[in-house]
Amino acid sequence: MKFAVQSRRDDQSNELMELAKSYLTEFGLVLDEEAPDIVLSIGGDGTLLHAFHRYSNRLDKTAFVGIHTGHLGFYADWKPSELEKLVLSIAKKEFNVVEYPLLEVQVHRKHSESSTFLALNEVTIKSPDVTLVMDVELNGEHFERFRGDGLCISTPSGSTAYNKALGGAIIHPTLQAFQITEMASINNRVFRTVGASLVLPAHHNCALKPVNDQQFNMTVDHISMTETDVKSIMFNVANERVRFARFRPFPFWERVHDSFVANE
């Protein structure tokens, strides 16, 4: 079996990375940074996002597992003290692979080529200087004209991240769906939006169409870009899935409780 390691690059994460490489090669696994079967992410949830995009071209062949060197995360759920136990389980192939849905984003431009992205957590659309004005279409039908700071379109896995901070719903990561959540929408006697998160199933799609030729910022997880020539942005549940190596039960609602409800 081939493996790779993604580190947050702090001292503790780098030390664990070198230990993991040493242990795994001793068990006969092969370090392969180009085509790994399993990727160890050492750091936090953000580190795993980097690993995901690094290997997004081989999601059907690569599984991810995270070790947290900071706060317990939704992706990075192994402790540094458990490294030897994790390595032994990997060497013995004592794990199952679970798949979670992703968000596909297609950016259609007026005068240049279209681009397609995959998001593990979310995509955000924001205007840097003025109110963002976007027509929102659901399944090809006009739904609303959004005015406000921006929009967040998230996967179920990403529903506990920025989406939750905006007041969106927490969705179990196995559900085939995506969510649209507003950022400070303008609602008065003249301008109206739905004012609530929308959860769309896998057979639905959403299109955002800029009303004016305004510049806006778009993020795909941690990747940031500026757009000025967009005709439409299409969102749907991707055909691709992210694969996680599971070595033990993953009680999602318990993790939600521990992260947001329980006192330290």
Residue of 45, 129, 135, 229 marked active site = 45
Active site residue 10: no
CA–CA separation, 149 vs 115, rounded Å?
A: 24
The answer to whether the beta carbons of residues 215 and 126 sit under 8 Å apart is no
Q: E strands along the chain, which residues?
A: 2-7, 30-31, 38-43, 63-68, 76-78, 96-109, 115-119, 122-126, 132-138, 141-154, 177-185, 198-201, 206-210, 216-220, 223-227, 230-246
CA–CA separation, 80 vs 149, rounded Å?
A: 39
CA–CA separation, 208 vs 115, rounded Å?
A: 15
Alpha helices in the chain (DSSP H): 11-26, 45-54, 83-91, 162-165, 252-260
- Which residues on neighbouring strands pair with residue 126, listed in sequence order? 150, 217
- Catalytic center residues: 45
